[in-house]
Homo-oligomer: A and B are copies of this chain.
Amino acid sequence: MSGFTNQKAAILQLQERTLTKVEPDPMSKKFYLELIPPSMLNNQADVDRLRDGLTSFVGQVTVPLALMSTLPGICRDGDWRLTVTLGRTAGGWLVIGVEPGNTTARHFGLAVDVGTTTVVVYLVDLRNGDILNVKADYNGQVAMGEDILTRISVARKQDGALELRKAVLETINRLISDLTTENEISKAEISACAFGANSTMVHLLLGLESNRICKPPYIPVVNNPGLLAAGEVGLEIMPLAPVYFLPGVGSYVGGDVIGGVLVSGMYKNPEIALFVDIGTNGEMILGNKDWLAACAGAAGPALEGGVVLSGMRAEPGAVEWVRLDPDTGQVQYRTVGGAKPRGICGSGLVDCLAEFLLAGIIDLAGKLKDGKDHYVVVPATETEHGMDIKVMQEDINNLLRTKGAVNAALEVLLDAVGYGAEDIKRFYAAGAFGQYLDLESAITIGLYPDLPRDSMVRLGNSSGEGARQVLMSDQLRQEAEKIATNITYFELIANDMFVQKFSSSRFLPHTNMDYYPTIKARLRERGIIT
């Protein structure tokens, strides 16, 4: 779990950078009321008195039966001064909590990013949107299967779906417990929660059948679950707290991606932008204020610690940054947490590939020269386990497949909407991988487009940040729904053009070198190409 210490710091730093200030209009609201005590001349019933007291703030509200019975005592204990917590519903507001006195200074919500691998929970001050604390951990489902397809197949087994649901809820609830303990608040003070998650994670978390997600025609049970109650979801917070999941577009473009598009703002701008989130799966959104097109696919294992011999996740000891002196062959590297090297992670591998290309160690087709089948990045003498950390030809091939898929997918999208690569004016990289990846290396190997660097933005955990934004703003929540509705999804599987482009897009950085002018110049400078 210690790997998350670093990650947490990075995420917090990121949040400070990309935190969009939104006019607070959160999913739950608190109002302090000083009601007129009843008398013979003013004999309104308690519930009706409360409802009338709220009318000037929010119009008509609904009071659930469970709260009606507690109201008389609270009104009288608090001498008719009380704080009401309201939760947003599809058609208005529901009273979800009543307390004596004025507790409006304590108003908390959660933004949760549920990734296939990692769960991040942000504790948010609903008065202003500030992030008070954050906790992250591996998704408890990882023990039952690393990738989405394995999870779905586990869910099909007897009690499998139940176990998976329990596992992820256990992770989330434990993180909530840690946050509330650390910040000295009660779980029952958390009155709203928004989620960013891919479609499979949403299904497994809600206990919905996931098996149709992965077989044609790839139909999820739900793309937009709407506003649910914490109790029915299984979150250990205020039972009636509204819980919202960022809406998805389909089985492979989920709410996590919609959150990213929301955070990027690309849906509001006139220039065409490209949004890419590459993790275990890859999603890509192309578009502007007038249209949005999406596609998605499995990204392959290369980037998530799936390197054949020396691969590992971005945990302490993972080589995450590599530079190679083209003249001496001297390797410089940095590890996560500065620990002794134990393996290499995705960003380290991308660095390697870029450096190999620039140093002439591999050719433009990604083949190690001189008949070698591997390259030693860190010699055994420097590693923790006393074994070489090496990149195999197979690792390079895997990464090239990922890069090829990304290129091919982009070409399919561009072709579908009638634009060319030269029309893309902005680029957004989402997700943890997008955050740690060296931008120059990613461009060098052709994974990212070769755009002016100041038009390329790392969004960090934009799934979590998207969740925070919809938690804080109903207008942004509606914008997220509009984004999901407006996106046209293009299926890559069984798409002839994709297959064709895929096989022709494995050259470094790109089959058409003119798309990569800055890399072309560097390669020419180093004499790799003429």
Contacts and interface: CB of A to CB of B under 8 A. Distances in A.
A225 B64 CA distance: 9
A90 B62 contact: yes
Interface stretch (A68-76, A126-134, A348-356): A68-76
A418 interface: no
B65 A206 contact: yes
A226 interface: yes
Contacts of A233: 65
A221 B60 contact: no
Contacts of A494: 40
Contacts of A38: 217, 219
Given A90-B60, A90-B92, A207 B489 contact: no
Nearest to A64: B232
Nearest to A90: B62
A453 to B, nearest CB: 37
A105 interface: no
Contacts of A226: 62-63
B223 A72 contact: no
A46 interface: yes
A57 to B, nearest CB: 16
A260 interface: no
A48 B232 contact: no
Interface in A474-510: 489, 491, 494
Contacts of A209: 69, 72
A44 interface: yes
A217 B39 contact: yes
Given A90-B91, A208-B68, A233-B65, A225 B43 contact: no
A393 interface: no
A212 interface: yes
A89 B45 CA distance: 21
Contacts of A43: 217-219, 250-251, 489, 491
28 contacts: A38-B219, A43-B218, A43-B250, A43-B489, A45-B220, A45-B248, A46-B221, A46-B222, A47-B223, A60-B90, A62-B90, A62-B227, A63-B222, A63-B225, A64-B228, A64-B232, A65-B207, A65-B233, A68-B206, A68-B208, A68-B222, A68-B225, A69-B207, A69-B209, A89-B89, A90-B92, A91-B91, A91-B92
Given A47-B225, A62-B90, 4 more contacts: A45-B223, A48-B224, A72-B209, A89-B89
